Structure 1
Amino acid sequence: MRSLTRRAVLRALGVAGATAAVAGCAPTIGTARMPQVAGTYDGPPVTLRFWNGLTGGDGPVMRTLIEEFTAAHPNVRIDMYALPWPDFYQKFPAAVVSGLAPDLALMHNFQVATSAARNVIMPVDEVLGAVGLAEADYLPVVWGSGVYRGQRWSLPLDMWPDSLFYNRRVLEKAGLDPDAPPVDRAGYEAALDTLASSGVRGHWLPAIDPQGVGRGFDSLLWQLGGTHYDDAGRSATWAGPEGVEALAWQQSLVRQGWSPNDVSGSDANVAFKNDQNAFLWGGPGALINDLGQVESLDWDVSPLPRIGTQRAAFSGSHQFVVARQQSFDADRLAAVVTFLGWILENSLGWASAGPVPARLPVLQSPELQDLPAQAHVAQGVEHIRFYPLVPGIAEVQTTILYPAVGDALLSLGDPRAALETAAAQASFLLTENAEKYGEA
């Protein structure tokens, strides 16, 4: 399938002009309705098409789960098509509009509102009972993450909060307790000072990787009591005192000599594996499996330290969606619901990919303790934060805020000026997005 530009996707959706409101002008396929289905499919053999962006170490884990599901449900086959996330988000809307939509897909929580506004996924309120989901089984922030314009559009599979990965051997060599990672600002800065006195820069800040360093800024902003946007999602608010303090604290890691300047996330990762630094801030989906492959590495993980006045950590979530079809087949949809119910109930198996289960009965099960790193990450999930449910919000974060944070860390320039410039740019894009997605 050829790649489509964003403008071409908008045209394909039947929108007049690049800035027309996709959500407000649904294409012809928007009239399709899902039939009522039961929770277990027992009909003739059916093959489902499942799209996602699981091209790393998480892909084989999902394929193994699919094999287990098929063994228990031999009449349902699932063809999984994984492609890099940027390609997925480009091709998925085009496939829906062209009538080549998969039956279901997995996407990030911060893309759900955008997909709903584009009218390329279906509301799933009516299948909650058949899938077997209940609000009490999820943290409020997670349960609410799939609700947009009063309807539910996605089903949460997992959570992957940024956490504190620490090198036990480096801490012990510096005279620090390897079993007691710092939990607050005073303890964290004291540990970095102690490490520096032993010749170790304890926290390598990946300033040239906007995604990683930007998520650290997110966590700090929330910890300091700040917000990214106003309640309407029309204006960026990160340039307030809390944002300035968050960025200034990140700069202090370099100014104090606790982090080298001009390093990447891979630099920090390699240094950690070679006992050259002590701390990494990052998500469990990437780091647990990566670090676990280094047999000689002595490491563990805990929730992020509280640098501000309250605990908070950026988190993402993989969420299942049902793709909009030109027409729905009851058998296929029943098979989709059967698979979703099974995998969400058995999401402990997915935890081996790194993220922790979103469903609380699974998260709190004794079996999770057999995965020590994931169990330690789970200790911080009550304090996770998600991006707000605003269409196009991921674009604002990744193309405006995160590069601004990275540039300010590389230059060590005025944090207020950097954030104010980015906020002005973001507010313009937020207004444009509101018009485009029918939010104005």
Structure 2
Amino acid sequence: MTPPPDLTRRQFLTAASLLAGTAALAGCAPASASGSTAQTLQFWHLLSGGDGVTMSQLLDAANAAQDAYRIRPTVLAWGTPYYTKLAMAGAGGRAPDIAIMHATRVAGWAPGGLLDDWDLDRLAELGVDESTFPAPIWQKGIVGGRRFSVALDAHPFVLMFNTDICDAAGVLDSDGRLKPASTPEQFLDQLREVGAVAGGHALSYGYLGDGAQMWRLFYGLYAQHGMAIDLPVGGEMGIDRDAAVETLMFMQSLLDGEIAAAQNDYGTAIAEFATGESGMLMTGVWELRTMQNAGLPFDATMIPTIYGTPAVYADSHSFVLPHQADADAHRRDLTYRFVADMLQGSFGWAEAGHIPAYLPVTESSEYAGLLPQAHYAEAAEHVVYDPEAWFTGSGSNFQGEFGAAVQGVLLSGDDPGAAIDRFTDRVNTLLAQPNPADPEGRWQ
């Protein structure tokens, strides 16, 4: 991919526009390569806590398994600080060899030249192609007909449940799995049965002040109607208002003080379930380690398909090639080998709760015995990501805008139709603004 002559300046302006209003950029230069060898690859990621420990273990294993490269990781703070520094590194053409990015952020970055695209032939030579990924995950990495990301995983929003409480409530089948519920009424009835046995609530769901939590549940349930939200450049948001209102009303019905607490933040909901006070929890798979460390008897599954179409909200940690003004061909080839090695060795990533994107891992007999992960692995075939626009994705303001529009519905019974209208107006305002990475609309 040959950049136009003004690319460096345009990339810098792109990065500055995308990140306007964020923290100051002091100290954002990429790690120095001084003293490194051609085989040392710089890898930036934003994984901390348990995920960070697991990633360190995977990198140690990758380094020890071969002699061609050594990975030098740099860990930056999640969210705006990470994306600020990565954007500025790409804008200057002095980026790391490889980085982790949420799949939902890629569409807003690729048009501005902040990322380099992948060579599909080279990936295929290393055993990485369309046949080795679930269809929705593979497709998500394509922008403008070119591949800009390669997913390591899917991390969906799921339903965890206390097996002791749910067994006592009679909602488990003979295999100890949660009995299916195929309508909103069936799921509500199931929750009431659990609530009759649980010491606290049937369900823990934290949402206060957390637009991401509200959006994750909403968009997964909305997609179960067989619909998606469309965000056309320069147009108006395409949303089925009736389905959106119905989804919000169902969410509202969960928060009656008996099924779930009417007012709960994320941390309180996690603690309630982890201490055995509730029977179920709606959360991301990233909380798997939390519940395992709590010694809780639990399992996990997809949130029930109550509107007809299996769908689960998710994002993916994905490998990207931040733009380099003069990429070294040998180092770039080693980077491809590293990504292939990580995908093929991602069973350890599954142990942390994430669903590996690489099908030979999730289809293995070893993975089939990994519980509860194997019980929600099917979610990878039904993932739905944020609707695609330059302003959506993990760590962006889009989900916060949704939360600001609808929290009153969940908290105090505000009119859900009016909330959807507020959200629609705000999104239409954003759609009227050009993508800072593509101000001339060349990628429309």
Common fold: TM-score over 0.5 = yes
Aligned counterparts of 1:180 and 1:17: Cα–Cα separation in 2: 50
Q: Deviations over 1:107-136 (max 9, x none)?
A: 111011122123111010353234432211
What secondary structure sits across from 1:321 in the alignment?
Answer: strand
Map of 1:121 onto structure 2: 115
The answer as to whether partners of 1:238 and 1:419 remain within 8 angstroms in 2 is no
Residue equivalent to 2:103 = 109
CA contact (8 A) 2:109 2:437 kept: no
Query: In structure 1, what is the Cα distance between the partners aligned to 2:438 and 2:38?
Result: 39
Which residue in 1 is equivalent to 2:346?
A: 347
Q: Does the alignment pair 1:46 with 2:46?
A: no
1:272, distance to aligned residue in structure 2 (A): 0.7
Taking the aligned partners of 1:170 and 1:72, their CA distance within structure 2 comes to 44
Give the CA deviation at 1:392: 2.2
2:15–2:91 contact (8 Å) kept in structure 1: no
Taking structure 2 as the reference length, what is the TM-score of the superposition?
A: 0.85
Q: CA deviation at 1:232?
A: 5.5
What is the rounded CA distance, in whole Å, between the counterparts of 2:309 and 2:246 in structure 1? 14
Give distance in 2, aligned partners of 1:16 and 1:189. Answer: 46
The verdict on how the C-alpha distance between 1:262 and 1:239 changes in structure 2, with shifts beyond 3 A counting, is farther
Quote the offset at 1:397 in angstroms. 3.0
Q: Is it true that 1:381 corresponds to 2:376 in the alignment?
A: no
Q: How does 1:71-86 map to 2 (within 5 A)?
A: 71-86=64-79
Q: How does 1:119-158 map to 2 (within 5 A)?
A: 119-126=113-120, 127-158=122-153
Structure 2: give runs of 5+ residues left out of the alignment: 1-7, 20-36
**Structure 1 residues 227 and 15: alpha-carbon distance in aligned structure 2, compared to 1, 3 A threshold:** closer
Corresponding residue SS for 1:136: helix
Letter in 2 for 1:207: Y
The residue aligned with 1:202 is 202
Counterpart of 1:379 in structure 2: which amino acid?
Answer: E
Q: Say if 1:78 and 1:139 are closer, same or farther in 2 by CA, change over 3 A.
A: same
Shift in Å, 1:105 = 0.3
Deviations 1:370-397 (A, max 9, x none): 3211111103332221223432222353
For 2:291 and 2:41, locate their aligned partners in 1 and report how far apart those are by CA, in whole Å.
Answer: 34
Aligned ranges 1:28-427 → 2 under 5 Å? 46-86=39-79, 87-126=81-120, 127-177=122-172, 179-184=176-181, 185-198=184-197, 200-208=200-208, 209-230=210-231, 234-238=235-239, 240-255=241-256, 257-284=258-285, 286-295=286-295, 297-394=296-393, 395=396, 397-427=398-428
Paired amino acid for 2:360: P
What's the CA shift string for 1:154-194, capped at 9, x where partnerless? 11111112211001122234344372424223432112222
> Partner amino acid for 1:58?
D
Taking structure 1 as reference, are residues 196 and 372 closer, same or farther at Cα in structure 2, changes over 3 Å only? closer
8 Å contact kept, 1:163–1:313: yes
Secondary structure of the residue aligned to 1:162 is strand
Question: Letter of the aligned partner of 2:62 in structure 1?
Answer: F
User: Which residue identity lines up with residue 223 of structure 2 in the other structure?
Assistant: W
Identity fraction in percent: 28
Return closer, same or farther for 1:16/1:226 CA change in 2, 3 Å cut-off.
closer
CA contact (8 A) 2:195 2:279 kept: no
Q: TM-score, normalised by structure 1?
A: 0.86
Change in 2 beyond 3 A, CA 1:204/1:71: closer
CA contact (8 A) 2:108 2:435 kept: no
In structure 2, C-alpha distance between the alignment counterparts of 1:152 and 1:119, rounded to whole Å: 13
Alpha carbons of structure 1 residues 352 and 19: separation in structure 2 relative to 1, 3 Å: closer
| Aligned alpha-carbon RMSD (Å) | 2.5
Distance 1:257 1:226, change over 3 A: farther
Partner SS for 1:391: coil
SS in structure 2 of the partner of residue 64 of structure 1: helix
- In structure 2, how many angstroms separate the alpha carbons of the residues matched to 1:386 and 1:304? 16
* Counterpart-to-counterpart distance in 2, 1:347 and 1:16: 32
Query: Could you tell me whether the CA contact under 8 Å between 2:118 and 2:149 is conserved in 1?
Result: yes
Displacement of 1:317 in angstroms is: 0.8
Aligned twin of 1:35: none
d(CA) in 2 for partners of 1:342 and 1:325? 22
Q: In structure 1, what is the Cα distance between the partners aligned to 2:99 and 2:235?
A: 29
Residues in 1 aligned to 2:389 and 2:73: alpha-carbon distance in whole angstroms: 29
CA distance 1:109–1:234, change in 2 (3 Å): farther
1: CA distance, partners of 2:435 / 2:235 = 7
Deviation at 1:425, TM superposition (A): 0.5
Distance change >3 Å, CA 435–CA 176, structure 1 → 2: closer
C-alpha change, 1:195 and 1:348, in structure 2 (3 Å) is: closer
Q: Amino acid of the residue matched to residue 112 of structure 2? A: R
Change (3 A) 1:48 1:401: same
Q: Which amino acid aligns with 2:337?
A: T
Q: Which structure 1 residue ranges, 5 or more long, are not aligned?
A: 1-8, 21-43
Contact 1:207 1:261 in 2 (8 A): no
Q: Which amino acid aligns with 1:321?
A: V
Q: Give the aligned residue type for 1:64.
A: Q
2:351 match: secondary structure:
helix
Please say if residues 167 and 278 of structure 1, whose CA atoms lie closer than 8 Å, have aligned partners that are also in contact: yes
Q: Is the contact between residue 207 and residue 410 of structure 1 (CA under 8 Å) also seen in structure 2?
A: no
The 8 Å contact of residues 109 and 145 in structure 1, kept in 2 or not, is answered as yes
What secondary structure, in the 3-state scheme, does the structure 2 residue paired with 1:235 have?
A: coil
